[in-house]
Structure 1
Amino acid sequence: MAITEKKTTIGLEQGLDFMQKGVTKLKKILEGLPEPQFSSEDYMMLYTTIYNMCTQKPPNDFSQQLYDNYKENFEEYIVSTVLPTLREKHDEFLLRELVKRWTNHKIMVRWLSRFFHYLDRYFIARRSLPALNKVGLTCFHDLVYKEINVKVRDAVISLIDREREGEHIDRALLKNVLDIFVEIGMGEMDCYEKDFELAMLNDTAGHYSRKASNWILEDSCPDYMQKAEDSLKREKERVSHYLHSSSEQKLLEKVQNELLLVYATQLLEKEHSGCHALLRDDKVEDLSMMYRLYSRIPQGLDPVSNIFKQHVTAEGTALVKQAEDAASNKKVEKRDMVGLQEQVFVRKVIDLHDKYLAYVTNSFMNHTLFHKALKEAFEVFCNKSVGGNSSAELLATFCDNILKKGGSEKLSDEAIEETLEKVVKLLAYISDKDLFAEFYRKKLARRLLFDKSANDGHERSILTKLKQQCGGQFTSKMEGMLTDLTLAKENQKNFEGYLTTNPHAHPGMDLSVTVLTTGFWPSYKSFDLNLPAELVKCVEVFKDFYHTKSQRRKLTWIYSLGTCNINGKFEPKTIELVVTTYQASLLLLFNSADRLSYSEIKTQLNLTDDDIVRLLHSLSCAKYKILIKEPNTKTISPTDYFEFNSKFTDKMRRIKIPLPPIDEKKKVIEDVDKDRRYAIDASIVRIMKSRKVLGYQQLVMECVEQLGRMFKPDFKIIKKRIEDLITRDYLERDKDNSNMFRYLA
């Protein structure tokens, strides 16, 4: 037999009365009154009562009434207890009371939500009503927060201002108050941002605006920047201690705007301590600070990099003027093409680049804007001429001075490598790289052919650096020259072997021949010099040897590059004379004649007047007077007569008789101009071949872009080359538009 127990129905009044006892107990606990804590039995009784009231059959299902009662409990407590205590307090006391009341409110929400939990699980879910937790927080928002948030915000901002002025404040209190602004938003940041952050940011702007207006008048640029950096650091700390992390960027932007942007021009251009002064006085740390501050601001570094560019340009231009003045004050003989002063200038430019590259690397953290500024500054003054010499020639001569034996720069191997690296970096700023290449190739040829190169390793090293900087085409001929020399040494060994095995073919003297490949080396004039019989035999012997190796190759003899060691039998003593092949040919004429006229010498040697004058001047008017000239003047004329100076003597047993140097600059520039014409022609044809039809402006711009890595082509020359290609039927003008060109296949 089953026994059933009838469940007692709980009436609304009865249930609410029981509930109210629990709520009153909770309020007493929150207010700190002597009241025992909830036991598990208390909790279970309250939970069960609400559960029963919600699960009774209608009309005794009191879910809605309980839901309303839940909210009423909060409203009653807030109105009767919370608001009166808050209304009577101000400033810091208000903040402390608010934190306490908010903490209590959250406890009350947590406990009541537990008692009424069954509502959350079923009733609220079915009806899509706000959850109990949200209802509790909304009550506080609507009744407390809306009334006092402005007073609270002002109190918080007042404390922040006091802290900015150096006072110690209760940061933990501020953190707790600002957490209320965040939490009251229930997952949204609207309350924090609109009711607090906006006013706080405006106050911050005002605070730093006032500070900046005083600092900019009183402080030097470094002092001002230090204060700005300290301020930014403190504001960042403020965020970490009590502001919400989402405020950091906005806060720092406000401070940066007031301290750095508003006064940027005044600060950076301060007369005795601005950016120019910091660069002038090498204030590396201050410049680093300037970079740190302005790198945080969009486009903030633009004015700093512009001042840096102006400063470097001015320093470089001053070096150019200094070198120009020195060159014009110094009475340099014409033959001294690039003097020591110009070498000093290049070294100073290298040092200047080292100095400011270190600034870019260290103070400006390798920022691309400063690399660009440095490049543009150096391009300005690195393309100016000094003492009539282009920067391309100066750099080539500087390299020559380092790489040749007995150069004025005495450097260790490591220092040479380092210097060459720096020269190649400077070359990047030179617009006429092709001119540098031609000057460099001429000087390299002289070093290699006259055994003036100090070290093969350095020669190859700089070519590797140039290849990396300018491409393989730039150095291909120079690399060929070095290879030629290696092959020439091997060829000479073979020749010596040939002479050993063919004694009848011996030339009668020591003979060394350097065979070169025409395409690699600079073009040299080859005259039909009438060689003396002694030298003719040498040429014939070598030709016979060479044809045993190669029948198809033609030998062209460049006598102007040859040297001879001949014995001068003078009455006091025999002296070995180191002379050029031309000088040797002239001197050997006096073996069969005591006295010769200018015209006789010219006829017998078959040389031009210019060459004859240079030869006779070197032997009769210069330091070593091997020939006696009549009349005894310091210039050579076609009416002069010459005879061997048998009484000549010198303390040395071996002397070198130099020829006056020829200014090869004109020839180099002519060769480069010719190569440029070919390069422009090739570029225009290449562009037109791919585009078929193109307007004049676009063709010119594409041509400049293609050739810009090696040289800056002149617009007038491009125009001339286009006209020339039209006459040669590579291009034609459009019949309807004279500025439009067509490619003729």
Structure 2
Amino acid sequence: MTMNQRKTIELEEGWDFMEKGITKLKRILEGLQEVQFSSEEYMMLYTTIYNMCTQKPPHDYSQQLYEKYKEAFEEYINSMVLPSLREKHDEFMLRELVKRWANHKVMVRWLSRFFHYLDRYFITRRSLPALNEVGLTCFRDLVYQELKVKVRDAVISLIDQEREGEQIDRALLKNVLDIFVEIGMGQMEEYEKDFEDDMLKDSADYYSRKASNWIIEDSCPDYMLKAEQCLKKERDRVSHYLHSNSEQKLVEKVQNELLVVNSTQLLEKEHSGCRALLRDDKVEDLSRMYRLFHKIPKGLEPIANIFKQHVTAEGTALVQQAEDAASNKVSALFHLSPASKMPLSMAESAVCLQEQVFVRKVIELHDKYMAYVNECFANHTLFHKALKEAFEVFCNKNVSGCSSAEMLASFCDNILKKGGSEKLSDEAIEDTLDKVVKLLAYISDKDLFAEFYRQAVASFMKKLSRRLLFDKSANDDHERLILTKLKQQCGGQFTSKMEGMVTDLTLAKENQNNFEKYLGTNPNANPGIDLTVTVLTTGFWPSYKSSDLSLPAEMVKCVEVFKEFYQTKTKHRKLSWIYSLGTCNINGKFEAKTIELILGTYQAAALLLFNASDRLSYSEIKTQLNLADDDLVRLLQSLSCAKYKILNKEPNTRTVTPNDYFEFNPKFTDRMRRVRIPLPPVDERKRVVEDVDKDRRYAIDASIVRIMKSRKVLGHQQLVMECVEQLSRMFKPDFKAIKKRIEDLITRDYLERDKENPNLFRYLA
């Protein structure tokens, strides 16, 4: 039969046939005895709808069938689904809901196939909701809306039971919560509004109650352990049945109640808080503290602050210990022999030893807490900053009047020089030097940057120069190593002179070899005395005090021979002799035995005078040597009043005066055949500070002139700020110092004030 001859199906007749099929589907869903749909049955149901939708008007029943489709769901829900759900509660209600939702989706799938022609044409043309959407909407409007509160409360109750350690059916919860998601048909609004919001509130309330008890009952480590376990379980909960979108929100709620709300009370717990954990080296607990708080916005700041305070306190305690130990040591030494008036050098040695101990302890402290930063605090920048700021506080304190820069220089000197107390391997020396340079960085970052920085340069320069000049360096490689590390840490400007010093010494050794060859080929020029001369470049080395010392004839001949040799190499360089750095080995012929005396050049020159005279007055020695009183008093003190009395002094007092007389002491003896006679040390710290201040004035002047030369006209405030910015790499200049230098440059006609505006300066070319 052709389509035009097809029998018209009336609405009532067609729907009766469809209802039979729908009833069979319901029976299958209810689990009643029923045979599954055959292919023929399925095709008949599909074809019936197709025919009823393609008949000519008024027999096109598309609209009516669309409505009947929806009514079929409504009738089934009201007659079968809701009654079965209303009679059940709690977990049983949830199981029934999951079953009914699964059945409903099956029913939607089958009916959507039977009514498929509506989806293809009628719904598309009319822009109506699709059959699948209509089916789901029926469940949402009739079942979900009525039961969502009961379902939500039942789920939250089960979650809380699980939190209390009870076993629950996680798969059931997963299936129930999937309904909240699927009802949204691609949107999360229902899940969030109808379940998540209340679940999060309940979670916050639950952990708030727990935290209020734990914070009182538990120690900080125990509390953190519980908090970490709770957070792990909540994440686990999300992975098993909550939607993944809930994880961050849930974790934040739990973190807030367990950690944020109680953070101060937790971290400040008297016997177990952050300070106690640092004090007792509780590395594992500190690591847990970091893990818990680093995920909270600004959560690490109070911990880093406590860490900074703790390290500062420990470092400050080291400073105080060093101060106390040094003063006690000196007091004890004086107390042991008050009548003997202990020489100042002994007291200084005690202080120096204490400085070495102090630096070693500071290095150990830095090692310890750097390990904390790296391991407990995951190398976080906040803790690096805290450590840096803490060390800046106490590394810039003076110990027994000595700055940290000087102590570090002295410490390096002790490690590097031959015969030092530190007997270390090459690897240990390299490691220690690396740590010292890191400490130097903390010094250079303070407000008094310029003073410490420049003092550090001066100290390192002075120590390095003495070590190199007197051949006390254990290993040239170590000298170059520390210079490399200093250069990396502080820049080339810091080390350029020191590198020049090391290079100078290499050239000086070659020069000495050439001098010895010269003497070998010119026997008549040989002065008869072993002479070693070290030629240095003026710009690289610290400024040393020079004098017009009148040398004895033996020494004059040595100087003249070397001058002749040096002129054969170059006629364009002038030699300036620094006798204060020289050493002499001379033989003293005493009654008991001949003893080799190791002296400074000044001391040797003074003793040689007694080859020609048995007795000399202070003024005679001064005239013959042409020395200043300060230098003369020091050398005569070392020869007549100290440990080794090579000269006898009249009167026999412990101080040298211009009225004294001196004569050779033939009865001097010592168990050693060689003795070193030191000069009393000179405290050069004051001069270092003065040099620093002078250099700072020059630097400020140069900066102001550079700025004004390029800008021509500039206001006072802007000039000061630009000057500070330019100099900040080297030191932090004081505003008053800059103002003073501006006034000085005005008087020297480098600048002038504007006649109308006194705060405006002009550059004078």
Q: TM-score, normalised by structure 2?
A: 0.94
Residue 83 of structure 1 and its aligned partner are, at CA, apart by 1.1
Moved more, 648-657 or 260-269: 648-657
Matched, 1:647 2:667: yes
Report what 1:315 is aligned to.
314
Look up the SS of the partner of 2:627 in the other structure. Answer: coil
Q: Relative to structure 1, is the Cα distance of residues 705 and 391 closer, same or farther in structure 2, using a 3 angstrom cutoff?
A: farther
Residue 9 of structure 1 and its aligned partner are, at CA, apart by 2.5
Report what 1:265 is aligned to.
264
Report what 1:471 is aligned to.
491
Q: Distance in 2 between matches of 1:106 and 1:356?
A: 62
Residue 427 of structure 1 and its aligned partner are, at CA, apart by 0.8
Report what 2:352 is aligned to.
339
Match of 2:644 among 594, 609, 624: 624
Q: Distance in 2 between matches of 1:727 and 1:24?
A: 112
Q: Relative to structure 1, is the Cα distance of residues 5 and 265 closer, same or farther in structure 2, using a 3 angstrom cutoff?
A: closer
Matched, 1:595 2:594: no
Report what 1:674 is aligned to.
694
Query: Once the two structures are superposed, what CA deviation does each residue of 1:646-678 show, in whole Å capped at 9, x if it has no partner?
Result: 333323222222111211222222222211222
Q: How does 1:410-429 map to 2 (within 5 A)?
A: 410-429=423-442
Q: Relative to structure 1, is the Cα distance of residues 729 and 74 closer, same or farther in structure 2, using a 3 angstrom cutoff?
A: farther
Q: Relative to structure 1, is the Cα distance of residues 740 and 324 closer, same or farther in structure 2, using a 3 angstrom cutoff?
A: farther
Q: Distance in 2 between matches of 1:14 and 1:374?
A: 88
Report what 1:274 is aligned to.
273
Residue type of the partner of 1:62?
A: Y
Q: Distance in 1 between matches of 2:602 and 2:558?
A: 15
Q: Relative to structure 1, is the Cα distance of residues 141 and 737 closer, same or farther in structure 2, using a 3 angstrom cutoff?
A: farther
Residue type of the partner of 1:578?
A: I
Q: How does 1:375-394 map to 2 (within 5 A)?
A: 375-394=388-407
Moved more, 431-440 or 356-365: 431-440
Q: Relative to structure 1, is the Cα distance of residues 21 and 686 closer, same or farther in structure 2, using a 3 angstrom cutoff?
A: farther
Q: How does 1:225-236 map to 2 (within 5 A)?
A: 225-236=224-235
Report what 1:178 is aligned to.
177
Residue 683 of structure 1 and its aligned partner are, at CA, apart by 3.1
Q: Distance in 1 between matches of 2:392 and 2:139?
A: 69
Residue 734 of structure 1 and its aligned partner are, at CA, apart by 4.3
Matched, 1:38 2:42: no
Report what 2:329 is aligned to.
330
Matched, 1:535 2:555: yes
Residue 689 of structure 1 and its aligned partner are, at CA, apart by 4.7
Residue type of the partner of 2:42?
A: Y
Q: How does 1:91-106 map to 2 (within 5 A)?
A: 91-106=90-105
Report what 2:337 is aligned to.
none
Residue 272 of structure 1 and its aligned partner are, at CA, apart by 0.6
Q: Relative to structure 1, is the Cα distance of residues 4 and 717 closer, same or farther in structure 2, using a 3 angstrom cutoff?
A: closer
Report what 1:191 is aligned to.
190
Q: Relative to structure 1, is the Cα distance of residues 314 and 687 closer, same or farther in structure 2, using a 3 angstrom cutoff?
A: farther
Residue type of the partner of 2:364?
A: D
Look up the SS of the partner of 1:245 in the other structure. Answer: coil
Look up the SS of the partner of 2:679 in the other structure. Answer: coil
Report what 2:590 is aligned to.
570
Residue type of the partner of 1:311?
A: H
Q: Distance in 2 between matches of 1:440 and 1:218?
A: 56
Look up the SS of the partner of 1:564 in the other structure. Answer: strand
Residue type of the partner of 1:374?
A: L
Report what 1:404 is aligned to.
417
Look up the SS of the partner of 1:629 in the other structure. Answer: strand
Q: Distance in 2 between matches of 1:690 and 1:375?
A: 37
Report what 2:163 is aligned to.
164
Residue type of the partner of 2:222?
A: D
Matched, 1:151 2:164: no
Moved more, 491-500 or 502-511: 502-511
Report what 2:338 is aligned to.
none
Q: Distance in 2 between matches of 1:73 and 1:507?
A: 129
Residue type of the partner of 1:312?
A: V
Q: Distance in 1 between matches of 2:188 and 2:710?
A: 60
Q: Distance in 2 between matches of 1:251 and 1:80?
A: 39
Q: Distance in 1 between matches of 2:228 and 2:760?
A: 59
Q: How does 1:540-559 map to 2 (within 5 A)?
A: 540-559=560-579
Q: Distance in 2 between matches of 1:65 and 1:3?
A: 26
Report what 2:384 is aligned to.
371
Q: How does 1:649-728 map to 2 (within 5 A)?
A: 649-689=669-709, 693-728=713-748
Matched, 1:349 2:362: yes
Residue type of the partner of 2:433?
A: L
Query: Once the two structures are superposed, what CA deviation does each residue of 1:179-225 show, in whole Å capped at 9, x if it has no partner?
Result: 00000000000000000000111111111111111111111111111
Residue 429 of structure 1 and its aligned partner are, at CA, apart by 1.1
Q: Distance in 2 between matches of 1:691 and 1:53?
A: 94
Matched, 1:434 2:454: yes
Q: Distance in 2 between matches of 1:694 and 1:334?
A: 54
Q: Relative to structure 1, is the Cα distance of residues 346 and 3 closer, same or farther in structure 2, using a 3 angstrom cutoff?
A: closer
Q: Distance in 2 between matches of 1:402 and 1:695?
A: 51
Q: Distance in 1 between matches of 2:373 and 2:714?
A: 42
Query: Once the two structures are superposed, what CA deviation does each residue of 1:516-539 show, in whole Å capped at 9, x if it has no partner?
Result: 000000001111111111111111
Moved more, 37-46 or 461-470: 37-46
Residue 701 of structure 1 and its aligned partner are, at CA, apart by 4.2
Residue type of the partner of 1:135?
A: V
Which 5+ residue runs of structure 1 have no aligned equivalent? Answer: none
Q: Relative to structure 1, is the Cα distance of residues 175 and 733 closer, same or farther in structure 2, using a 3 angstrom cutoff?
A: farther
Match of 1:583 among 603, 607, 614: 603
Moved more, 595-604 or 498-507: 498-507
Q: Distance in 1 between matches of 2:102 and 2:539?
A: 92
Report what 1:135 is aligned to.
134
Q: Distance in 2 between matches of 1:329 and 1:619?
A: 30
Which 5+ residue runs of structure 2 have no aligned equivalent? Answer: 332-342, 444-448
Residue 121 of structure 1 and its aligned partner are, at CA, apart by 1.5
Residue 705 of structure 1 and its aligned partner are, at CA, apart by 4.2
Q: Distance in 1 between matches of 2:272 and 2:713?
A: 58
Residue 44 of structure 1 and its aligned partner are, at CA, apart by 1.4
Q: Distance in 2 between matches of 1:292 and 1:736?
A: 64
Matched, 1:447 2:446: no
Q: Distance in 2 between matches of 1:201 and 1:693?
A: 65
Moved more, 410-419 or 601-610: 410-419
Q: Relative to structure 1, is the Cα distance of residues 490 and 613 closer, same or farther in structure 2, using a 3 angstrom cutoff?
A: same
Q: How does 1:598-617 map to 2 (within 5 A)?
A: 598-617=618-637
Look up the SS of the partner of 2:587 in the other structure. Answer: strand
Matched, 1:252 2:251: yes
Residue type of the partner of 1:621?
A: C
Look up the SS of the partner of 1:519 in the other structure. Answer: helix
Q: Relative to structure 1, is the Cα distance of residues 3 and 138 closer, same or farther in structure 2, using a 3 angstrom cutoff?
A: closer
Query: Once the two structures are superposed, what CA deviation does each residue of 1:579-628 show, in whole Å capped at 9, x if it has no partner?
Result: 11111111111222222111111111111011111111211222222222
Residue 697 of structure 1 and its aligned partner are, at CA, apart by 4.3
Q: Relative to structure 1, is the Cα distance of residues 324 and 650 closer, same or farther in structure 2, using a 3 angstrom cutoff?
A: closer
Q: Distance in 2 between matches of 1:723 and 1:28?
A: 106
Look up the SS of the partner of 1:429 in the other structure. Answer: helix
Report what 1:24 is aligned to.
23
Query: Once the two structures are superposed, what CA deviation does each residue of 1:8-38 show, in whole Å capped at 9, x if it has no partner?
Result: 2222222212211111111110011111111
Q: Distance in 2 between matches of 1:694 and 1:368?
A: 40
Q: Distance in 2 between matches of 1:651 and 1:630?
A: 26
Aligned-pair identity (%) = 80
Look up the SS of the partner of 1:535 in the other structure. Answer: helix
Residue type of the partner of 2:507?
A: L
Residue 732 of structure 1 and its aligned partner are, at CA, apart by 3.6
Q: Relative to structure 1, is the Cα distance of residues 329 and 50 closer, same or farther in structure 2, using a 3 angstrom cutoff?
A: same
Q: Distance in 1 between matches of 2:275 and 2:763?
A: 54
Residue 698 of structure 1 and its aligned partner are, at CA, apart by 4.6
Q: Distance in 2 between matches of 1:21 and 1:693?
A: 102
Report what 2:446 is aligned to.
none
Look up the SS of the partner of 2:538 in the other structure. Answer: coil
Look up the SS of the partner of 1:315 in the other structure. Answer: helix
Query: Once the two structures are superposed, what CA deviation does each residue of 1:344-403 show, in whole Å capped at 9, x if it has no partner?
Result: 111111111111111111101111111111111111111111111111111111111111
